[in-house]
Amino acid sequence: MSCCDTDSQILEAEDRILLAGQPNAGKTSVFNALTGGSQRVGNWPGVTVERKEASCRFAKKGTTVVDIPGTYSLESTSPDEVVARDALAAFPQAVIINIVDATLLKRQLTLTLELLALRRPMVIALTMLDELAKSQIEVDLDGLSKALGVPVLAMDGRTGRGAAEVVKAAVSSLASRAPSGLPPAFSGGSGSDEARADRSRAAGAIARDNSQDNRGKTDRAEKSRGGVAVFLDRMALSPLAGPLVFLTVVFAMFEITFGLGSVFVGLFQRGLDGLGDLAKAIPQAMVASFVKGALLGGVGNVLLLVPYVFFMFLILSFLEDSGYMARAVFATDALMRRIGLNGKAFIPLIMGFGCNVPAIMAIRTIESPRDRLRTTLMVPFTSCSARLPVYVVVAGAFFGRMAGLVIFSLYLSGMIAGILTAALSSRFIAPEKGGGLVMEIPPYRFPLARNLLREAWNRTRGYLAKAGTLIFAASAILWLLMNLPLGTTPEASIIGLFGHFIAPVFAPLGFDWRLTVGLISGIAAKEVLISTLGLLAGQGAPLAAALPGMMGSATALAFLVFTLLYTPCLATLAVMKSETGSRKWTTISLLWSLILAYSASLVARLIGLSLGLSA
């Protein structure tokens, strides 16, 4: 039985609970706790850049909880913060749950004062009280509630403790339609330096009066931070060690991904082989061909590599939840400044390791429109998880023990290509003058294993869903085209003729018609590339074993480079167009990626040949 059965009867279907707060206050964790959802969380400002809605598990009648991007102030103008402001305006009847990080009480209360000025039903959920307790600081919840004139309750977003009580208070507040008011210490002005200073002073006074000692908290927090955290930051925030730590973190990410992933892939391969043996027993030749070709060769080869994708997402989630992302910004700021951006532009590049689509959306947190556009042009060169299976199979087939190093080099090369693109783009898009980096450094937090696994699974589920839909459909279509006209060989089939028609364009790179078809199919989604190669490699044979029959090592190197750099998937192009609002720049990005991919692959092949690798 939920806590608020009685009160929830009063709610109407359209009633909403709106979660508002400053960036990194823990809104999405609270959202997940209130809805039983599994939205992505992270420990840096700017994880949420769009509005999300779900039903509240603690209230009846389909009460909706709305998670909005964090905003430092209702005056802010960056696109993600405008989304937050628009959501507040869009739901004037909604009750607001203001999520406040207790460790940053003074600053977070400045937004609270702005929200109170909206005179809406409101409740405050105070998070991170456990962290505050470590600094020997206590907050007087009752005192704070009296000072602000709204209920103030403790809540732990990560464990969900206190969620039911917060919803109960919100529902009561909504039922009574009691609007909030401004505390006497604050006049409620806005829009000027004086008003902001006034708000800051009022917030400071309220925080000071209702916590044991608010002054000098920074210094005490600094001293009280754990020894390990201090040591980690001494390394991560050092001019010399910081970039080295970053490279080590990225390298370790790949080593762990491949080390753990290969154990499971071996098991999966045995399962796939077993299914292949079963398929041999199918009496109808066409059905057997479809099962072995489209299902096992196409979809099966993509599913086989799921463990690599899962572990990659698991480690990325760890980095995002631990607080390392902000340190990566610090480590790369000097490099990014050389190309007219700042370290903040590096976050989308790291997020792009997972998927380019959310990475491009994360660019909303960058204040300057011109910097946003230049960062958007960089992201497609970040190697997403969909490309990973291609690297694993091809590098594993040709470079043996060096495969890990080859793949690590590919990821670094992608980042270098992105940085090069941003540098070149500064000739056409003047870097923003007067811009600069200002960003919060969150404390390190050890992520909960449960949350990490859930996060990694959610992202892997997207990969699996694609295997069951897009990749299956693409494999089925390709299988059909490979078998038409009936009774033909793959080379003389429709897809074979198409491949032969296009292949001369790629002949200098050493790609035959099968590789060419694979690359073209990969434009839909990069995973399709593997399923296509699996299909074209011939039925029954593992893809890695069949690849040496398609190309030599030098061509394999060129193929990897091409896969790294060429056209991003259709979903990335679509989000690029919608985020930039520019068809021109999306087209330029597409053409540039093709030119760069072709040139770099040619160079890679020539270098490979000069080193004695097989053609």
The residue ranges that bind other proteins (CB under 8 A) are 72-73, 75-78, 103-107, 110, 193, 196-197, 200, 214, 217-219, 221-222, 237-239, 242, 326, 329-331, 333-334, 337, 342-343, 367, 434-441, 443
Residue with smaller CB distance to other proteins, 218 or 489: 218
To other proteins, the closest distance from the beta carbon of 208 in angstroms equals 11
Residue of 123, 116, 93 lying closest to 180 (CA atoms): 116
To other proteins, the closest distance from the beta carbon of 115 in angstroms equals 14
> Which residues are CB-contacts of 193 (< 8 A; sequence separation ≥ 6)?
none
Residue with smaller CB distance to other proteins, 340 or 389: 340
Residue with smaller CB distance to other proteins, 53 or 75: 75
Residue with smaller CB distance to other proteins, 193 or 277: 193
Distance CA 31, CA 47 (A): 13
Distance CA 454, CA 451 (A): 5
Residue with smaller CB distance to other proteins, 221 or 282: 221
Question: Per this entry, what is the length of the chain?
Answer: 615
Neighbouring C-beta atoms of residue 481, cutoff 10 Å: 17
β-pairing, 95-101 vs 64-67, is unpaired
DSSP state of 211: B
Residue with smaller CB distance to other proteins, 196 or 445: 196
Residue with smaller CB distance to other proteins, 334 or 497: 334
Q: Would the CA dihedral through 392, 393, 397, 398 be positive or negative? A: negative
To other proteins, the closest distance from the beta carbon of 580 in angstroms equals 19
Residue of 110, 112, 127, 98 lying closest to 29 (CA atoms): 127
Distance CA 251, CA 247 (A): 6
Which tokens belong to 212?
């044991």
Residue with smaller CB distance to other proteins, 334 or 595: 334
Residue of 361, 362, 415 lying closest to 384 (CA atoms): 415
To other proteins, the closest distance from the beta carbon of 216 in angstroms equals 9
Residue with smaller CB distance to other proteins, 39 or 76: 76
To other proteins, the closest distance from the beta carbon of 48 in angstroms equals 17
Residue with smaller CB distance to other proteins, 95 or 345: 345
Q: What's the longest Cα–Cα distance across the chain?
A: 85
To other proteins, the closest distance from the beta carbon of 143 in angstroms equals 18
Contact, 310 vs 265, CB < 8 A? no
To other proteins, the closest distance from the beta carbon of 83 in angstroms equals 16
The H-or-E segment that residue 205 falls in is: helix 193-209
To other proteins, the closest distance from the beta carbon of 549 in angstroms equals 51
**Could you tell me if residue 216 is left (phi over 0), alpha (psi between -120 and 50 degrees) or otherwise beta?**
left
Residue 75 CB burial class (10 angstroms; 0-12, 13-18, ≥19): middle
The H-or-E segment that residue 54 falls in is: strand 52-55
Kindly give the residue spans of alpha helices, DSSP state H, lying in 365-402: 369-378, 388-399
The H-or-E segment that residue 465 falls in is: helix 449-466
Residue with smaller CB distance to other proteins, 203 or 294: 203
Residue with smaller CB distance to other proteins, 194 or 277: 194
Kindly give the residue spans of alpha helices, DSSP state H, lying in 117-192: 129-134, 141-148, 163-176
**Could you tell me if residue 23 is left (phi over 0), alpha (psi between -120 and 50 degrees) or otherwise beta?**
beta
To other proteins, the closest distance from the beta carbon of 590 in angstroms equals 31
To other proteins, the closest distance from the beta carbon of 44 in angstroms equals 11
Contact, 339 vs 426, CB < 8 A? yes
Q: Which residues pair with 99 in a beta bridge?
A: 21, 125
Residue with smaller CB distance to other proteins, 237 or 453: 237
Distance CA 440, CA 438 (A): 7
> Which residues are CB-contacts of 581 (< 8 A; sequence separation ≥ 6)?
none
Contact, 419 vs 339, CB < 8 A? yes
> Which residues are CB-contacts of 539 (< 8 A; sequence separation ≥ 6)?
289, 292, 293, 296, 297
Residue with smaller CB distance to other proteins, 156 or 233: 233
To other proteins, the closest distance from the beta carbon of 275 in angstroms equals 52
Residue of 153, 64, 171 lying closest to 100 (CA atoms): 153
To other proteins, the closest distance from the beta carbon of 128 in angstroms equals 11
Residue with smaller CB distance to other proteins, 72 or 479: 72
To other proteins, the closest distance from the beta carbon of 207 in angstroms equals 8
To other proteins, the closest distance from the beta carbon of 233 in angstroms equals 9
To other proteins, the closest distance from the beta carbon of 94 in angstroms equals 23
